[in-house]
Structure 1
Amino acid sequence: MYDLLLAAATPGPSSPPAELVTPGPWGFAVIAFLALAVALLVFDMLRRVRRGRYRAEVAAELDAEEQARAAVRESNVDDQDIDPDEDPARR
């Protein structure tokens, strides 16, 4: 009985060698589909990252402009209205 199981477990001459086994057209189609899907996902990811970077640059420029306007508003003092005798910094 052990000989019968051993004979059934060993491959017969009808099976081709492992070097000749290929995935076939279905395997090629699946790999090609996966490669195309990965390429499209990478392209979409790069586009989204680039868009986010541009938005961050524009937001930084807008913040800098707002800070510059606020600095001009705060420093826009009419110095001629100050009497030098009443200036607390000179006392």
Structure 2
Amino acid sequence: MSLVVLAPLLSIVAAATPSPEFDPNTVTPGPAGFVAIAVVAVGTVLLAIDMARRVRRNTYRAEIQERLQAEIAAQAAADAGAEGNGKA
């Protein structure tokens, strides 16, 4: 589209836009906005606490699994060593 076509269109849109009847410096979200933001903040904190708990739990499970595998490997090595010493 050319500028010749857009100019009258923009002037119609600009003329149809009513001027605000309020002072934009004093408009606030009010109690509903406060409650909405408070709910989002509380939800975010609860999600962060839950995530930290789950990460900690998975870390402990991985450490315990590694310890169990190390104990099984040490027991297998001890059994193999005992069998080797008994036959010789």
Using the size of structure 1 for normalisation, the TM-score is 0.72
Shift of 1:66: 0.3
- Equivalent residue for 1:31? 37
Shift of 1:68: 0.2
Structure 1 portions without partners, runs of 5+: 83-91
- Equivalent residue for 1:40? 46
Identity %: 39
Higher helix share: 2
CA shift digits 1:31-74 (9 cap, x unpaired) = 00000001001100100000000000000000000000000111
Secondary structure of the 2:40 match is helix
- Equivalent residue for 2:60? 54
Secondary structure of the 1:20 match is coil
Structure 2 portions without partners, runs of 5+: 1-10
Structure 2 counterpart of 1:9, from 9, 12, 17? 17
Shift of 1:16: 2.1
- Equivalent residue for 2:4? none
After TM superposition, what 4+ stretches of structure 1 lie above 2 angstroms from structure 2?
none
Asked which structure has the greater RCO (Cα within 8 Å, sep 6+), the reply is: 1
- Equivalent residue for 1:78? 85
* Cα RMSD (Å): 2.3
Using the size of structure 2 for normalisation, the TM-score is 0.75
The structure whose Rg is larger is: 1
